[in-house]
């Protein structure tokens, strides 16, 4: 299930596997009071593709900007054997995001204004044995956003690709990950705002991931396939 948050004509599309609607409504009220903006949670299903257009058409007013936050890591080993798990990873991380953003992009293109930001992942920069199904979906999303940016820049629309590394969320809970590379959600949010204001095309957060992935993608394949990453 996903949520649209409306903040003074900016929308945030968020994928939530499990959610408490009362907690989300309370959060929206807190945002409204704390920051003096209108914040309204509205549900829609990211993987019910035939509902996306009607959902967007009903929004009033239409957004000036959209942040898409979809992420389902899943179980890579299970996904190799289980079609349903593989399909879910692909549908959430790629297909659902692309289809709703296509609708947004078309609207912004006609209006010749707006901005789109979407959460991809450093996992999409190179396939690794630990999460290559998730990584391939995020990699596909990164390529999509790159092409979308190339198209929409001619229509005065900004497209930001966000590539987080390890972030301290439910997705990474229980994993044995290096603490120095772990980012807090609040820090990622600040990085996104800074990148958006500077009209950047691609954001790595933490910043060091740009250089980590630069090294990883340049490791020769004959060496890389022997590594356990």
Is there a domain that residue 26 lies in?
yes
H/E run at residue 203:
strand 202-205
Which residues neighbour 122 within 8 Å (Cβ) at sequence distance 6 or greater?
163, 164, 165, 204, 209, 212, 213
Residue 7 banded pLDDT, cuts 50, 70, 90: very low
Q: How many domains does the chain have?
A: 1
Is there a domain that residue 217 lies in?
yes
The confidence score (pLDDT) of residue 2 equals 47
Would you give the end-to-end CA distance of the chain in angstroms? 31
What pTM, to 2 d.p., does this model score? 0.88
- Of 102, 49, 42, 95, which is closest to residue 70 (Cα–Cα)? 95
Is there a domain that residue 229 lies in?
no
For residues 191-203, average pLDDT: 96
| Active site residue ranges | 134
Pairwise CA distance, residues 142 & 229, whole Å: 21
Pairwise CA distance, residues 158 & 202, whole Å: 11
Q: Which of 29-33, 41-45, 89-93 has the lowest mean pLDDT?
A: 41-45
**Which CATH number is 215's domain given?**
3.40.50.720
pLDDT per residue over 113-147, tens digit each?
999 999 999 999 999 999 999 999 999 999 999 99
């Amino acid at each position: 299930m996903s949520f649209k948050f409306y903040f003074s004509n900016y929308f945030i599309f968020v994928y939530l596997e499990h959610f408490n609607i009362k907690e989300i409504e309370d959060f929206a009220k807190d945002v409204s009071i704390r920051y003096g903006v209108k914040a309204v949670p509205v549900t829609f299903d990211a993987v019910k593709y035939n509902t996306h257009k009607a959902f967007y058409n009903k929004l009033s007013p239409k957004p000036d900007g959209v942040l898409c936050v979809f992420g389902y890591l899943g179980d890579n080993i299970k996904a190799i054997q289980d079609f349903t798990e593989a399909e879910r990873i692909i549908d959430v991380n790629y297909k659902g995001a692309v289809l709703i953003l296509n609708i947004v992009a078309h609207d912004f293109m006609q209006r010749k204004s707006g901005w789109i930001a979407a959460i991809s992942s450093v996992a999409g920069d190179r396939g690794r044995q630990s999460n290559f199904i998730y990584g391939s979906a995020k990699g596909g999303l990164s390529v999509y956003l790159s092409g979308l940016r190339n198209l929409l820049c001619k229509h005065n629309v900004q497209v930001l690709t966000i590539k987080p590394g390890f972030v301290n969320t439910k997705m990474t809970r229980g994993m044995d990950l290096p603490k120095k590379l772990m980012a807090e959600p609040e820090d990622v949010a600040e990085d996104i705002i800074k990148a958006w204001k500077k009209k950047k095309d691609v954001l790595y957060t933490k910043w060091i991931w740009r250089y980590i992935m630069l090294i990883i993608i340049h490791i020769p394949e004959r060496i890389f396939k022997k590594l356990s990453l």
